[in-house]
Amino acid sequence: MATLEPSDKHSEYAAFVSLDWADQEHAWALQSDAGTAVEQGTLKNTPEAVEDWAQKLAQRFGGRPVAVALEQRRGSVIAMLTKYAHLVIYPIHPSTLAHYRKGFYPSGAKSDPGDTLLQLELLVRHRDRLPVLKPDTVETRKLQFLVEHRRKLVNDKTAYSNQLTGWLKQIFPQVLGWFEDPAAPIVSEFLKRWPTLEQLRRARTTTVRDFLRAHHSRSEERIQARLAEIERAVPATNDEALQGAGVVAVQGLVRLLNELRQAIASCEKVIGQTAEAHPDFAIIDSFPGAGPVMAPRLLAALGTQRERFSSARDLQCYTGIAPVVARSGQQCWVHWRWACPRFIRQTVHEWAQHSMKKCAWAREYYQRQRDDQKSHHAAIRALAFKWLRILYQCWKTRTPYDEAHYLAARADRMPTRPELKPDGVKIQWESVAGFWKLKQNPA
């Protein structure tokens, strides 16, 4: 949604404000630049109340900038405060405030007015170490909202599909054998017409055959096999209570899955249009494995503010792909990064995995990691780490990815490296809940 940039410790603010936000009412504390006594109060969480409060600050300090610290980076409060040009937002990470509080109150005591004072102290004394919220372009922020919303819809679809599978195993397990994906449209239409085996057995053979053909099941051999299995099928249970409840649950889940499929399709259409209008779309779209899903997510993760990252290392750390090294005395522990945007880390991880489908050197690099006894996910992270260096350079210079150019440059750096054999590594994929994923242990 926005970029967090290092603050300028020499900036002059008319006042410093901290907000401890809540659902109904916010506690605030204010100290003017003159170092006067701290003022405290409360503010209702309504657009009208925030508008009145912000205008009063502008009138009181003559429109000069006011620094505002709050324990939120995205949400209703941020959405309301970013409207005002004279308010400079300093989002404080919850763990930063929690550790700061613990240093002064080891007992664990906590209160909203107390937190506002601690936030104000952080802002006044340590704002040179706090980031400033700087919104990105409209296209980028719109993509960020949309791709995250789409992912949540996909997660909901998977969750409802799993629930549907659970009910079908109890009342109509044969459906799971007749169709590969319980969340597929053909399954929804099938269960709407025949939610139980008894109702299906009463249908004419020609009716079932016509239904399958109408829903793109055109293999006559497969149709005949299904019809034969229907004739041999036996009810899974005679429990009327379970059967009655199961039918209601199954039909409700089918309706939810239908709505989610439509919502995902609608969201993807807008995402595609927004991504193609983005100024960096051609750069990201040139990378193997980006595609219509991953390219918008990568665009949203990178944004357009190229001053955010001074090196590829910064980007690798920000995305959570770079590991963390903890040293103490003679002890050394390397682990993956815990504090990072998890959706962005997931995006880069999935993109690196999909890149192997279209990129020979990526497959070869992944296989070398596996040969070195790395786990599947560790090998994917290593590949993602390598991809991020390339992505950073292309993004920084506004240059589309050219695999021939990259391979030539790599050959110049490592002339003794064995020649890449594109067909030497076989990557196998499997369908999991309707999505294609890399098969971790191919036979």
Could you give the percent of the chain with pLDDT greater than 90? Answer: 60
Q: How confident is the model at residue 172 (pLDDT cuts 50, 70, 90)?
A: very high
Residue 411's SS3 state is helix
Please tell me the distance from the alpha carbon of residue 218 to that of residue 210, in angstroms, as a whole number: 10
pLDDT over 90 at 94, yes or no: no
For the chain, which residues make up each domain, given as ranges? 2-135, 142-274, 300-438
pLDDT over 90 at 101, yes or no: no
pLDDT over 90 at 8, yes or no: no
Please tell me the distance from the alpha carbon of residue 357 to that of residue 20, in angstroms, as a whole number: 48
Beta-carbon-side half-sphere exposure of residue 275 (alpha carbons within 13 Å): 28
Q: Which residue, among 127, 141, 20, has the nearest Cα to 66 in the 3D structure?
A: 127
Lowest mean pLDDT among 218-232, 246-260, 342-356: 218-232
Q: How many CB atoms lie within 10 A of CB 29?
A: 24
Mean pLDDT of 161-182: 94
pLDDT in tens, 233-263: 999 999 999 999 999 999 999 999 999 999 9
Task: Report yes or no: 133 and 4 within 8 Å, Cβ to Cβ.
Answer: yes
Task: Report yes or no: 301 and 319 within 8 Å, Cβ to Cβ.
Answer: yes
Lowest mean pLDDT among 67-76, 166-175, 349-358, 399-408: 67-76
Q: How many CB atoms lie within 10 A of CB 57?
A: 20
More reliable by pLDDT, 332 or 168: 168
- Find how far residue 260's CA is from the centre of its chain: 18
Q: How many CB atoms lie within 10 A of CB 356?
A: 23
pLDDT in tens, 288-346: 999 999 999 999 999 999 998 999 999 999 999 988 888 888 888 888 788 788 999 99
Please tell me the distance from the alpha carbon of residue 315 to that of residue 393, in angstroms, as a whole number: 11
The rounded mean pLDDT for the chain is 87
Q: What is the pLDDT of residue 422?
A: 47
Q: How confident is the model at residue 207 (pLDDT cuts 50, 70, 90)?
A: very high
CATH architecture of 2-135: 2-Layer Sandwich (3.30)
* 82 to 1, 229, 294: CA distances (angstroms): 12, 62, 29
Beta-carbon-side half-sphere exposure of residue 181 (alpha carbons within 13 Å): 14
Mean pLDDT of 10-24: 82
Q: Which residue, among 75, 146, 97, 82, has the nearest Cα to 343 in the 3D structure?
A: 146
pLDDT in tens, 370-418: 999 999 999 999 999 999 999 999 999 999 999 998 888 888 876 554 4
Q: How confident is the model at residue 441 (pLDDT cuts 50, 70, 90)?
A: low
- The length of the chain, given as a count of residues: 443
CB burial of 134-149 (b: ≥16 within 10 Å; e: otherwise) equals: eebeebbebbbebbbe
Could you give the percent of the chain with pLDDT greater than 70? Answer: 90
Six-digit token string for 256: 């939810």
Q: Quickly tell me which residue has 């807008």 as its tokens.
A: 270
Q: What is the pLDDT of residue 340?
A: 84
Task: Report yes or no: 384 and 321 within 8 Å, Cβ to Cβ.
Answer: yes
Q: What is the pLDDT of residue 21?
A: 82
pLDDT in tens, 45-73: 899 999 999 999 999 999 999 999 988 77
- 10 Å CB burial of residue 268 (0-12, 13-18, 19+) is middle
More reliable by pLDDT, 326 or 227: 227
- Rounded to the nearest 5°, which phi and psi values hold at 28? -130, 155
- Beta strands 39-44 and 66-70 are unpaired
Element (H, E) at 158: helix 138-171
CATH number of the domain located at residue range(s) 142-274 in this protein:
1.10.287.4070
Q: Is the dihedral of CA 232, 237, 243, 246 positive or negative?
A: negative
Please tell me the distance from the alpha carbon of residue 42 to that of residue 415, in angstroms, as a whole number: 67
Interacting residues of 362 by C-beta distance below 8 A, sequence separation 6+? 288, 289, 352, 355, 356, 383, 387
Beta-carbon-side half-sphere exposure of residue 100 (alpha carbons within 13 Å): 19
